[in-house]
């Protein structure tokens, strides 16, 4: 991504100290592998437990980046812009660049189909062939990509980004600074049916989806509307690609859900949970605050606060580890069992041989 700003300008945007002169021009933000001598590479802190291992340090050592935005010096001899929160600093730089590019006037492509009854705040951008239906309300500086669909009476907050081909269906609500990637559908009908003697009869799904602020919905994910009330995605939730959230689900603030996970209807997921990829969660369960579900697990019962669950069906991680050790030892255990069985059979035959031999 192009920057074309000096170190001096960066110092006005973020707090920190730099080993380079204020006049040094930073051209781009780039990865460690692709960065050149006029580029900056960002070293993200992945969490309290994260450390720069030997592999990461080797990448930094071999990188051609002229500058590293980091929390501390990782490899001696490199140029660093040291700041307490590199990821936060990165966000501030991007926000500055976006503010420079924004136009107060709305930029609506002439091929977009926009209802006269839609309401727009300043700075809205709508790309070709997007569709905006009656009563939609689009917040300040929001972006709607090509071929995206915004249904009737939808509410999008400020600085919302709807990528090309995404769908937000009737009456759903998306909070400020949220992102919905291509192919995602927000507000599809929940899978609700009544079993009758003549077959399955559809239960109308008349609720909505309410998405909080700073949420990100991955490509091709689907979030079903509630049967009557609301399917809720809390503030700061991050949902990966190809995730299915069923009707009436409540996802607590700052929870992360990885790709190919399926959450069945009316599940309550707590605050700050981490749910791995390819997880299946049975309907009407409660996942406690801070719980972690290991990838490829099937959750069939409620999970307490802070628990780590793993397996099919899922059990506490400590139990799963013991079970796994036993499972891997089963071939050896079976061999020993056969030896004992053979020994006992020979002994039995020898015993009865005294009388009938």
Helices (H), the chain: 7-13, 54-62, 86-101, 317-356
Does residue 75 lie within any of the structural domains?
yes
What is the pTM (predicted TM-score) of this model?
0.77
Q: Are 298 and 337 in a shared domain?
A: no
Q: Are 95 and 191 in a shared domain?
A: no
Q: Are 187 and 300 in a shared domain?
A: yes
Over range 158-184, report the average pLDDT.
97
Q: Are 74 and 16 in a shared domain?
A: yes
pLDDT in tens, 16-46: 999 999 999 988 888 888 888 999 988 876 5
Domain boundary among 48, 76, 101: 101
pLDDT in tens, 55-109: 577 888 888 989 989 888 888 888 999 998 888 888 888 888 777 665 556 789 9
Q: Which domain holds residue 297?
A: 166-313
pLDDT in tens, 294-328: 999 999 999 999 999 999 888 887 777 777 777 78
Return the closest-CA partner of residue 324 out of 305, 342, 311, 308: 311
Domain count, the chain: 3
Q: Are 271 and 201 in a shared domain?
A: yes
**The pLDDT of residue 49:** 46
Does residue 129 lie within any of the structural domains?
no
CA distance 142 to 231: 23
Q: Are 272 and 331 in a shared domain?
A: no
- The CATH number for 286's domain is 2.160.10.10
Q: Are 280 and 237 in a shared domain?
A: yes
Q: Are 333 and 263 in a shared domain?
A: no
Q: Of 147, 247, 250, 278, which is the active-site residue?
A: 247
Does residue 269 lie within any of the structural domains?
yes
More confident residue, 117 or 318: 117
Mode of pairing for the β-strands spanning 137-138 and 119-120: parallel
Q: Are 207 and 233 in a shared domain?
A: yes
Domain boundary among 49, 80, 101: 101
Does residue 126 lie within any of the structural domains?
no
**The pLDDT of residue 216:** 97
Active site residue 247: yes
Does residue 22 lie within any of the structural domains?
yes
Reported as a pLDDT band with limits 50, 70 and 90, residue 352 is low
DSSP, residue by residue, 143-191? EE-TT-EE-TT-EE-TT-EE-TT-EE-TT-EE-TT-EE-TT-EEEEPP-
- The CATH number for 8's domain is 3.40.1390.10
Does residue 157 lie within any of the structural domains?
no
Does residue 148 lie within any of the structural domains?
no
Reported as a pLDDT band with limits 50, 70 and 90, residue 50 is very low
Does residue 145 lie within any of the structural domains?
no
Q: Are 226 and 333 in a shared domain?
A: no
Query: Phi-psi region for residue 59, left (φ > 0), alpha (ψ -120 to 50) or beta?
Result: alpha
Q: Are 354 and 303 in a shared domain?
A: no
pLDDT in tens, 234-253: 999 999 999 999 999 999 99
| Residue indicated by tokens 């269906």 | 169
């Amino acid at each position: 991504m192009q920057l074309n700003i000096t170190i001096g300008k960066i110092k006005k945007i973020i707090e920190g100290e730099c080993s380079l002169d204020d006049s040094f021009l930073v051209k781009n933000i780039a990865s460690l592998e692709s960065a050149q001598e006029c580029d900056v590479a960002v070293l993200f802190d992945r969490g309290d437990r994260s450390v720069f291992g030997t592999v990461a340090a080797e990448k930094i050592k071999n990188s051609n980046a002229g500058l590293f935005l980091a929390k501390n010096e990782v490899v001696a001899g490199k140029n660093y812009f040291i700041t307490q929160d590199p990821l936060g600093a990165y966000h501030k730089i991007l926000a500055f660049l976006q503010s420079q590019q924004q136009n107060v006037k709305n930029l609506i492509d002439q091929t977009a189909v926009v209802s006269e009854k839609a309401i727009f705040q300043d700075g809205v951008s709508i790309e070709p062939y997007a569709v905006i239906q009656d009563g939609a309300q689009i917040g300040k500086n929001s972006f709607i990509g090509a071929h995206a669909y915004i249904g009737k009476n939808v509410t999008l907050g400020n600085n919302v980004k709807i990528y090309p081909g995404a769908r937000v269906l009737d009456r759903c609500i998306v909070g400020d600074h949220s992102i919905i990637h291509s192919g995602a559908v927000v507000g599809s009908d929940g899978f609700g049916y009544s079993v009758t003697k003549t077959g399955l009869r559809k239960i109308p799904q008349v609720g909505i989806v309410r998405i909080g602020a700073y949420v990100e919905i991955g490509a091709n994910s689907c979030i079903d509307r509630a049967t009557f009330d609301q399917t809720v995605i809390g503030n700061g939730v991050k949902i990966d690609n190809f995730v299915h959230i069923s009707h009436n689900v409540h996802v607590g603030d700052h929870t992360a859900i990885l790709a190919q996970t399926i959450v069945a209807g009316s599940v309550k997921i707590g605050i700050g949970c981490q749910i791995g990829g390819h997880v299946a969660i049975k309907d009407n369960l409660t996942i406690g605050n801070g719980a972690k579900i290991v990838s490829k697990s099937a959750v069939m019962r409620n999970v307490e606060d802070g628990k780590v669950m793993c397996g099919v069906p899922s059990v506490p991680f400590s139990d799963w580890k013991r079970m796994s050790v036993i499972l891997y030892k089963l071939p050896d255990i079976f061999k020993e069992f056969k030896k004992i069985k053979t020994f006992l059979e020979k002994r039995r035959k020898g015993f009865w041989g005294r009388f009938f031999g």
